[in-house]
Chains A and B, each alone.
Chain A
Amino acid sequence: MNASHQSLDDTQWLRRIARRDREALALFYDRYSGMLYSTLLLALNNREEAAGALQEVFIQIWDQAGAYDPAMGKPFTWALTLARRRASDRLRRHPQRSHLGSASTSTWIWSDQSSPSPSLSPNPSASSDVTKVFGHEQVTLIRIALEELPAEQRQAIEMAFAGGLGQNELADALGQPVSIIKARIRRGMLTLRERLKRIL
């Protein structure tokens, strides 16, 4: 890694990737692959599937970095959107792989308890990658904000975020009308936005 790359922000990295700068892509991978992979693994519940999806995501980043629109969010937000679309596509092809379709299995996601699946066991070095990006204090604040949400709001957001479930699938999984699900997600997301506005 050279000094000029290290001082760049994410948007500048994407501009370099759009100009076919392989080193920029490698650095972008080093910084965000852990979080993207964790998201994909949580949704797909299979390491090979998650690795394959992550590869597709970075190929897509390589090909579409020029189409990145800063107005719609930060580069990581964009990359995360690509990753979650990949996960949704794969789950639509193999819905049996999802372990988040039932209400009883979703509340552990953002807790400190151990994972229900061996494939999702936390990795300390990967956790340190998160703190490099967000910082210890921000990670703590994010966890607190989530824990303080009402359980039904947090559950709906978890299943939508990590499970790749749409509002109708969420309604089926939780046994609630769609209007209730929409209201829970709206209230929960707006609350999180307010609580995290200072650090984002």
Chain B
Amino acid sequence: MIDERREAQASLYALGALPPEETLEFETALRSDLQLQLLVKELRGTASALVAALPQVAPPASLKQRILQALDGSEQRSESSPVAPPAPGPENAWMFWVPWALAACFAFLCVLLISLGHSLRQQAVQLQQDLNERTQQALQLQEQVNQLENTAGQAATNYQVRISEIQRQVLQRVEEINRQTAALTNQLQQQNAEARRQLGLVQTAADNLKREKRMLEEALAGVSNGDKDRINSVRLAVLRPTATGPAGAIGASVWSSQDQRGQLVIENLPPLGPNQAYQLWLIDPKLAIPVSGGVLPADNAGGLRVQFTPEIRMDGAERFAVSIEPRGGSRTPSPRIVLTSQ
């Protein structure tokens, strides 16, 4: 990671605008930082691209030739030409050879030094090329490291995504199990409630049967001993609420067709308004309409015990019913039947 200060220095360096005192420090850092080298390389490339946007002016046509000639001059200057020595006089002939000897030594030394310099220069060039190759290799390695880091980062990301996916699936499964558990619990509670309700119904039915038994026993209690031999002509019936009748009401009747009278016991009839009354009806399938058994005087507790006699003789009364009628009773039953026997 390159900080902003180095980025600013690299930008100025690429533009040649970094002052000398900072350039030295920056180049020292540059040598040991491959990322910074890469940044500088890219910024230099960016700076060089800016040339494309400059107004372009062609150089003088003769400049190329001048430069090539200057190369020739440079090459010629590098080859030093020997200066012609002065002619020696006869009196100092030995002195004639001294400069030549010195020149020969100097020339030999020069050749030696040039050879050495050439060798060193070749070595320097070779070293520079080696350095360039190593730097290139280092950059390639850095790129490989970056690629590996990217690959590793991508793999880590993939694993994290996979882990997140598994966590999400586990959470979904847990939620599904919780939902199934809640549904099963609810179903069991409903079944339990239904079982309790059915048990309650069974108990209610048992209670009703007990009450019916008691009613019948009470009804039988109203029959005299002398009449017991007529029991075969007596019809017993239990009156149960209709669909629109009071749920808690129940009744029983004992009817003797021989005596043309009967006994009726009812409990839990709800009280009626002042202009209404309960009325008993005897039903003979052979007759077109039911026959009134009389208006029933219900007490405040909803219970009654009455003897009844039909308005006309009834030889085949098989069923009994109680309806709500206007006060004083009706000639025919209204549709509001609240109790009926089977």
Residues of A near any B CB (own CB < 8 A): 18, 22, 25-26, 29-30, 33-35, 37-39, 41-42, 47, 50-51, 54-55, 58-59, 62-63, 66-67, 69-74, 76-77, 80-81, 84-85, 88, 109-110, 115, 119-123, 125-127, 129-130, 133-134, 138-139, 142-143, 146, 157, 160-162, 164-168, 170, 182-183, 185-186, 188-190, 192-193, 196-197, 199-200
Contacts and interface: CB of A to CB of B under 8 A. Distances in A.
Interface string B129-153: 1011001100100000000000000
B11 interface: yes
B171 to A, nearest CB: 41
27 contacts: A26-B68, A33-B64, A35-B52, A42-B55, A51-B63, A54-B63, A66-B125, A71-B41, A72-B44, A74-B48, A77-B44, A77-B48, A80-B48, A142-B50, A146-B53, A160-B17, A161-B15, A161-B16, A168-B19, A182-B8, A185-B11, A186-B11, A188-B11, A190-B11, A193-B42, A193-B43, A196-B49
A134 B74 contact: no
A33 B132 contact: no
A123 B60 CA distance: 12
A80 B45 CA distance: 10
A197 to B, nearest CB: 7
Contacts of B136: 70-71
B37 A120 contact: no
A59 B52 contact: no
Question: Which residue of A35, A81, A166 has the most chain B CB atoms within 10 A of its CB atom?
Answer: A166
Contacts of B19: 166-168
The 9 closest A-B pairs by CB, nearest first: A126-B56, A189-B11, A37-B59, A160-B17, A186-B8, A122-B55, A71-B135, A126-B58, A73-B44
A116 B128 CA distance: 44
Given A62-B71, A125-B58, A146-B50, A200 B45 contact: yes
Interface residues of B, number: 49
Contact of B46 (A51, A85, A200): A200
A176 B52 CA distance: 28
Contacts of B67: 29, 54-55, 58-59
A142 B49 contact: yes
Contact of B42 (A33, A50, A133, A200): A200
B91 interface: no
B74 A62 contact: yes
B15 A138 contact: no
SS class, residues of chain A in contact with chain B = helix
B68 A139 contact: no
B128 A66 contact: yes
Given A41-B57, A193-B43, 11 more contacts: A29-B67, A37-B57, A38-B55, A77-B48, A129-B56, A129-B58, A130-B52, A142-B52, A161-B16, A193-B42, A197-B42
Contacts of A119: 57
A34 B44 CA distance: 19
A37 B58 contact: yes
Nearest to B65: A26
B47 interface: yes
A98 to B, nearest CB: 14
B298 interface: no
B56 A123 contact: yes
Contact of B56 (A55, A127, A165): A127
A67 B128 contact: yes
Contacts of A76: 48
Nearest to B34: A71
A35 B4 contact: no
B7 A34 contact: no
Given A66-B125, A142-B49, A22 B44 contact: no
B294 to A, nearest CB: 109
